[in-house]
Each structure stands twice: as C-alpha cells, then as structure tokens.
C-alpha cells in the first residue's frame, strides 16, 4: 500500500490514535536525524505516516526542531501531502481556545533557524513562490472534510510564527495584531517553506490552546488550562484526518 498522507504532530499530539499494522522507520537524511522515528500505519484503509515534531516525549524546543530532516524524511518515504498540526494562541476574536483553524497566510518572526535546503555550500539556490504558503487544494479538502465530519473549523487566518519556547509579551502580540496576525505559534516556519521547496502539498491545522497575551478575557496564560484545551481539541484530529482520507482525490 502506497503512502497516502503524512501528519506532523505538534504539542499534545505525540502518537496518532487508530494506526494499525504499525512499523517505525529511522530515516537518515543529509540534514541529520528527524525529531523521531517515522511511524507508518494503516488508517481507514490508507497508508499514513506520522512524525512527532517535538519528539515522542516533547524533548525538542521549537527553535531546535530539525525541520529540514523532518520534511526530507517524509518526502523520501513517498509522502505527497503533509498536514502540520500546530498548537497556537488565538489573537482574532473568533480564534478562542479549542477552536480549529486552517490558516491561509503566514508572517515569519523566527530567527536563526535553517530555513532552506539551499543552506548548504555548493547546492543550487532554489527560489520558490511563497505568495500562498499553504496548498489551496489541501486547505479546501480539509475544510470540506471538517464539514463532512461535523467538525467546526475557521477556514482562514494569518499564522504568526514566533521563536519560542517562551510565550509572547502583550506588546509583541499587540504588534502582531497590527501586522495582521490572527494566530500565534512557534513551529509554522520554516516547515511550510521547506515543504514548498520539496513540492509537497502542505497545509496547517491550527489548534487554539489559549488566548494570546492581552487577547480575549484572560489576564494571564495558564499552562494547565492550555494543556486541558489542547487535549480536548486534539481529540478531534483523527476524525478530521479520517474524513480527509475519505474524500475522492
């Protein structure tokens, strides 16, 4: 059975429930080792790959994730479509805790990360069109799948990618709001750009864990509340992926 889809799990999603006939692959890449072994399994009659972005025990901080190795390994295994699951904070008024969003744009505030496969001496520089950072067809499929599965999603949004691992200040979020950001997360870039360089269809499923600093009605960010929200919203991911796989390609 050929590989149908790859899912990259973020904070709160370290294993993919429901995978059968599981095998683990340790992939060596020109850029080092991925965050964890790639888990291959059958899910609703399709072959799916799963990778825990932060490692199986959340031991890798956002700025230390080997994004190049992760995407290269999935590509090498034959993945053509990749879904990035990202825990985020909400800025826009309809992006409160436990909301699921499928963003359509990115603003990148990260620094010091390897952002391209061209960051190697002697490799030809590849310029990519990144006007639309997520694959439109895959985004549309996710929104349709959510509707079919009776899962409420916000079908757009601007993802602001910050460095982490600390959360942002109120002033930083205020600036991001002025910049047009609706969501804030730490792992959206360079993952999306690297996927584009490899010509992979890539989209983000953003799981809102909390209001960003100074947003909503919260006065401070509560980590226990973040994890409770993540647990609740992450529980919908398998149903969303199942509905996506059920769509005719």
Instruction: Tell me the CA distances in angstroms from 234 to 14, 54, 147, 167, 176, one per residue in order.
Output: 11, 16, 17, 20, 25
Local structure of 106: helix, strand or coil: strand
Q: Are strands 46-52 and 38-43 parallel, antiparallel or unpaired?
A: antiparallel
Local structure of 2: helix, strand or coil: coil
Please give the annotated binding residues, written as ranges: 11, 53-54, 186-187, 210-212
Predicted confidence (pLDDT) per residue in 32-69, tens digit? 999 999 999 999 889 999 999 999 889 999 999 999 99
Across 27-121, the runs of DSSP E, i.e. the strands, are 38-43, 46-52, 81-90, 100-101, 105-108
Please give the annotated binding residues for phosphate, written as ranges: 11, 53-54, 187
Predicted confidence (pLDDT) per residue in 161-178, tens digit? 999 999 999 999 999 999
Q: Note down the domain range covering 66.
A: 3-246
Q: What is the pLDDT of residue 1?
A: 58
Look over the chain and give the mean of its residue pLDDT values, rounded to a whole number: 94
Local structure of 23: helix, strand or coil: strand
Q: 88, 184 in Cβ contact below 8 A?
A: yes
List of long-range contacts for 15-18, beta carbons under 8 Å, 24+ apart: 15/39, 15/50, 15/52, 15/56, 16/41, 16/43, 16/48, 16/50, 16/238, 17/238, 18/43, 18/44, 18/238, 18/242
Please give the annotated binding residues for substrate, written as ranges: 186, 210-212
Q: What is the CATH classification number for the domain harbouring 24?
A: 3.40.50.1580
**CA 71 – CA 205 distance, rounded (Å):** 17
Quote the number of domains for the chain.
1
Q: What is the pLDDT of residue 249?
A: 63
Local structure of 7: helix, strand or coil: strand
Per-residue pLDDT at 123 exceeds 80: no
**CA 204 – CA 8 distance, rounded (Å):** 10
User: pTM higher than 0.85 for the full model?
Assistant: yes
Helix axes 136-148, 237-246, angle to 10 degrees: 110
Q: 85, 13 in Cβ contact below 8 A?
A: yes
**CA 192 – CA 163 distance, rounded (Å):** 15
């Amino acid at each position: 059975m050929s590989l149908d889809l790859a899912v990259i799990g973020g904070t709160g999603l370290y294993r993919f429930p429901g995978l059968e006939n599981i095998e683990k692959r340790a992939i060596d890449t020109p850029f080092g080792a991925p965050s964890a072994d790639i888990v291959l399994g059958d899910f609703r009659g399709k072959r799916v790959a799963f990778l825990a972005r932060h490692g199986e025990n959340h031991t890798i901080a956002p700025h230390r994730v080997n994004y190049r190795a992760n995407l290269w390994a999935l590509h090498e295994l034959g993945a053509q479509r990749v879904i990035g699951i990202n825990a985020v904070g909400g800025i826009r008024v309809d992006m409160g805790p436990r909301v699921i969003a499928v963003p359509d744009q990115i603003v990148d505030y990260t620094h010091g990360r390897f952002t391209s496969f061209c960051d190697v001496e002697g490799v030809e520089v590849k310029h990519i069109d990144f006007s639309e950072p997520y694959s439109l067809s895959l985004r549309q499929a996710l929104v349709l799948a959510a509707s079919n599965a009776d899962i409420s999603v916000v079908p757009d949004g601007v993802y602001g990618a910050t460095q982490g691992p600390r959360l942002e200040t109120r002033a930083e979020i205020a600036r991001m709001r002025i910049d047009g950001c609706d969501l804030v997360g730490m792992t959206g870039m360079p993952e999306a750009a690297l996927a584009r360089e490899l010509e992979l269809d890539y989209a983000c499923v953003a799981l809102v864990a909390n209001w960003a600093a100074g947003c909503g009605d919260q006065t401070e960010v509560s980590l226990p509340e973040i994890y409770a929200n993540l647990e609740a919203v992450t529980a919908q991911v398998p149903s969303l992926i199942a509905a996506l796989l059920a769509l005719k390609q």
